[in-house]
A = this chain, B = another copy of it.
């Protein structure tokens, strides 16, 4: 596709011939180029598509003319005619917007989509409606050619629906469905496993982990990695109940503070999110305890935040921007017709 980003072409002030066009210069269409080159609209269309049926010389002539008048195809017309929308919908959950989670991903996605004809459209999912509603809406009304979303669940309704509809999508996180599907995930099992090992290696004997809400698949991955490590090492452990990575920071702080004030308090914390990690730190601080001496903490890092937080804690990095790039990349592949699911899955290593 030779023409998708317009160079800053000058609009020639009197491009058309002596036709009495009212406006000084209208938006150039195929017709404009057809008149300019003396060809038929159809020919111009094909020439711009580099159709080998059109003589090479003609193609070049047409493409030159198009560039000269700064022609860009009308997306609405293309969409109406072909049924393709050139839109990719990112269905965003409000929770994902905290502290740049969604943002890093968006940056990655837009980077990949650059230079393609695709636009990224944010489709918010409001918490007072079922999770699947926006997805249904997009598919039913052909609002997009592909869908991206995250916070995947083991038996995700969206995945089931999209698979059945044969609609291209890539989600962040896996399911436990029998049918394989495209996804990008992070090795959250490994994350908690390594985090626990680190804490134990530095002397912790009672680990405390804050997990994502149970309905998400990565809750189970994280739990599993954690449990494997603590069982291997035979140390005490505790899984936070009543709070999750989605809980409000104040709630987490209060909960953690209560545990820290207790007799058999944990001495090692694992947080899969920056917000809750900050809450653990503030709770610790407020009780006069010290991170690194009284308790240790390993957090998942998804931004540069913890480089500046003091005292410094141990972190394990998840590159969400890379995840976004990958998700968009796989979706492009899928939309281009690649169907072997094996080529459409990726797990980012810890």
Binding site for B on A (CB under 8 A): 5-6, 8, 27, 70, 72, 74-77, 79-80, 85, 92, 94, 97-100, 102-104, 106-107, 110-111, 114, 119-124, 126, 133, 136-137, 140-143, 248-250, 253, 275, 278-279, 281-282, 285-286, 303-305, 307-311
Contact = CB atoms under 8 A, between A and B. Distances in A.
Greatest chain B CB density within 10 A among A70, A106, A107, A122 is at A122
Contacts of A309: 278, 282, 309
A74 B285 CA distance: 57
B307 A250 contact: yes
Contacts of A106: 97, 122
A279 B308 contact: yes
A223 to B, nearest CB: 24
Nearest to A97: B103
Given A278-B309, A308-B282, A99 B8 contact: no
B133 A305 contact: no
A26 to B, nearest CB: 12
A94 B107 contact: yes
Contact of A310 (B85, B248, B282): B282
Given A6-B140, A120-B122, A124-B110, A99 B308 contact: no
A213 B202 CA distance: 43
A103 B311 CA distance: 28
B133 A124 contact: no
Contact of A80 (B80, B92, B126): B80
B75 A77 contact: no
Identify which of A5, A281, A303, A309 gathers the most chain B CB atoms within 10 Å of its CB. A309
A23 to B, nearest CB: 13
A248 B250 CA distance: 29
A76 B85 contact: yes
A245 to B, nearest CB: 14
Given A99-B99, A282-B308, A76 B80 contact: yes
Contacts of A304: 248-249, 275
Given A8-B136, A114-B126, A99 B285 contact: no
Q: Report which residue of A70, A85, A136, A141 has the largest number of chain B beta carbons within 10 angstroms of its beta carbon.
A: A141
B303 A99 contact: yes
A114 B275 CA distance: 28
Nearest to A312: B282
A136 B279 CA distance: 44
B99 A305 contact: yes
A341 to B, nearest CB: 26
Nearest to A71: B141
B76 A307 contact: no
A283 to B, nearest CB: 9
A122 B124 contact: no
A281 B305 CA distance: 12
A303 B150 CA distance: 22
A158 to B, nearest CB: 14
